[in-house]
Structure 1
Amino acid sequence: MELEGRVAVVTGAASGIGRALAAALGEQGCRVVLADIEAAALDAAVAELRAAGRECIGVVTDVSDAASVEALAHRAEQAYGAVHVLCNNAGVSVRRPVAEQSIEDWSWVLGVDLWGVIHGLRTFLPVLTAQPEAHVVNIASVAGLVPFALGGPYNAAKAAVVAISETLYLELAELAPHVGVSVVCPGATRSNFNTSARNRPRHQDGASEQPDAGALARQKELSRALIEAGADPATIADQVLAAIRQRTFWVLTHRSEYGPAIRSRTERMLEGANPLPVDLAAILAAGS
């Protein structure tokens, strides 16, 4: 797919993978619409791209709200007349056992991680299919392929994003073959992911996070260490751009680290064997 002169919309674009995607798309000649709920960080990201000579705008957006995503689409079309690439990237998480996840926890995480993708697709697909060529990028997670302890709502949302993406790929292959689809399943990536609660709406505040003991405490400590030592978001962005150009569906950015866990889960599923925990210590060692 040609990117020069095209228009790309990236949600969660003020930090992490989203910010790297916006920068990479801008470098390839796209006009970029950056969307994020965090206004100050969004302004900084837009200023950085403009300083590098990129054409872009920022739109404060709550992806969990349908009207806000519709306003984003209107602003993008108003500014640039079309949208050719949609990157549904915004994501949040709450790290606690399923038994301790509140209704507010589930509502917030599913609202951003799952409904954010749903709203993005429902709103932008008519615009994308009207272009001569276009592409949808849904940022899921390796957690959508191999669930991790302490991430019930996040795991559920990301597994659903994988399923929706695969469904969309099959549908568009028949109904609009000029629109490509990629689902990205990154592992640990350096970002502000562990502090996503900073953007949590007050009406969705959950119970205070309690200290964990034993294995759960170790699991959370390893998860934090993985993110701190994680992949450079720019590396992920480069893989996404390659997938857009080559119309590649699966983008497994951490294949070497997480591939054995994905393979083991699939094999155990086919054998009817019970789940095993993901060995985060081994993944951390493999990535170091």
Structure 2
Amino acid sequence: MKSFSRKVAAVTGAGSGIGRALSMDLARRGCDLALADVDEGGLAGTVEAARRLGVKVSGTRVDVAEREAVHAWADQAAAEHGGVNLIFNNAGVALGSTIEGGGYEDFEWLFRINFWGVVNGTKAFLPHLKSSGEGHVVNVSSVFALISVPGQGAYNASKSAVRGFTEALRMELELSGAPVSATSVHPGGIKTNVARSARSDESLRSLGVDPEESRKNFEKLFITEPEKAAQTILCAVQKDKRRVLVGPDAYVIDGLARLLPGAYQTVVKKLVMRSMR
């Protein structure tokens, strides 16, 4: 897909962060938009801003964890826009907790959004992408699918699942000769509100970490603007990349995982211990 002009893109989590930046960048490139988010206020702001750029935009409140709602949105978007070419499964949440101390309910909440939200979006939109004759599935994973971090076990697992799901999807699409491709996105620290909206569990104290301080320190690591992330992602789609790293820290982490596939854990553990001191 060399151009986004006169295409139709569906974006989840469009009310803020990477989702909003993707929506605005696509609108500037002449792409019509079907946008979704649970944050109706943020979603309305993105819809209004994108419409001012002269493209057709629809906005729907959708919880990506609700399968029937996602399928209904996909059918509605295709009917309203005359088809859909791209789905950006971007919506996600974060959780700080230990494996042992974290509650099942929090783990399930995170997986319903981070993993099942991607599955729901992919399966709901895939028939429409195939019908368009030129489609692309873009699933946002994380650098935490490349390495793991203590206190982020559930998040690590969910984003690793997104990576495996998307890479398998890409190969299946190629083997079947479908007119659709797929890209797995691995952002580093992007300046979004994901840390402020994250759930944080008291079990982190067993690692010597204060949950509130951990949230603040984590947010300090966000170095890449959402607009830059959107540009990188759309460039990767145009080049039909299988995987894209977003941000300079993503390249550092990817290099660490490649050079020290097992020993990186010692490096990460020492960094955590240093931050505790």
SS of 1:98's partner is coil
Identity %: 32
Distance 2:47 2:166 in 1: 28
Matches within 5 A, 1:1-288: 1=1, 2-197=3-198, 209=202, 212=205, 215-217=208-210, 220-227=215-222, 230-254=223-247, 256-269=248-261, 273=263, 275-278=265-268
> Cα deviation per residue 1:174-198 (whole Å; 9 max; x = unaligned)?
113421211110000111101335x
User: Does the 8 Å CA contact 2:196/2:215 hold for their aligned counterparts?
Assistant: no
More displaced stretch, 217-226 vs 93-102: 217-226
Residues 208 and 276 (structure 1), Cα distance of their counterparts in 2 relative to 1, 3 Å cut: closer
- Taking structure 1 as the reference length, the TM-score comes to 0.86
Residues 187 and 260 (structure 1), Cα distance of their counterparts in 2 relative to 1, 3 Å cut: closer
The RMSD of aligned alpha carbons is: 2.4
How much does 1:222 deviate? Answer: 3.0
Which aligned segments of 4 or more residues in structure 1 are displaced greater than 6 angstroms? 279-282
User: Does the 8 Å CA contact 2:187/2:250 hold for their aligned counterparts?
Assistant: no
SS of 1:247's partner is coil
The letter of the residue matching 1:69 is V
Alignment length (residue pairs): 269
Distance 2:264 2:46 in 1: 45
The letter of the residue matching 1:237 is A
User: Does the 8 Å CA contact 1:265/1:275 hold for their aligned counterparts?
Assistant: no
- Taking structure 2 as the reference length, the TM-score comes to 0.89
Which runs of 5 or more structure 2 residues have no equivalent in the other structure?
273-277
User: Does the 8 Å CA contact 1:149/1:277 hold for their aligned counterparts?
Assistant: no
SS of 1:263's partner is helix
The letter of the residue matching 2:83 is A
Residues 281 and 189 (structure 1), Cα distance of their counterparts in 2 relative to 1, 3 Å cut: farther
Residues 280 and 122 (structure 1), Cα distance of their counterparts in 2 relative to 1, 3 Å cut: farther
More displaced stretch, 171-180 vs 127-136: 171-180
Residues 176 and 279 (structure 1), Cα distance of their counterparts in 2 relative to 1, 3 Å cut: farther
Which position in structure 1 is the counterpart of 2:275? none
More displaced stretch, 112-121 vs 174-183: 174-183
Distance 2:52 2:269 in 1: 43
Residues 50 and 258 (structure 1), Cα distance of their counterparts in 2 relative to 1, 3 Å cut: closer
Distance 1:208 1:267 in 2: 32
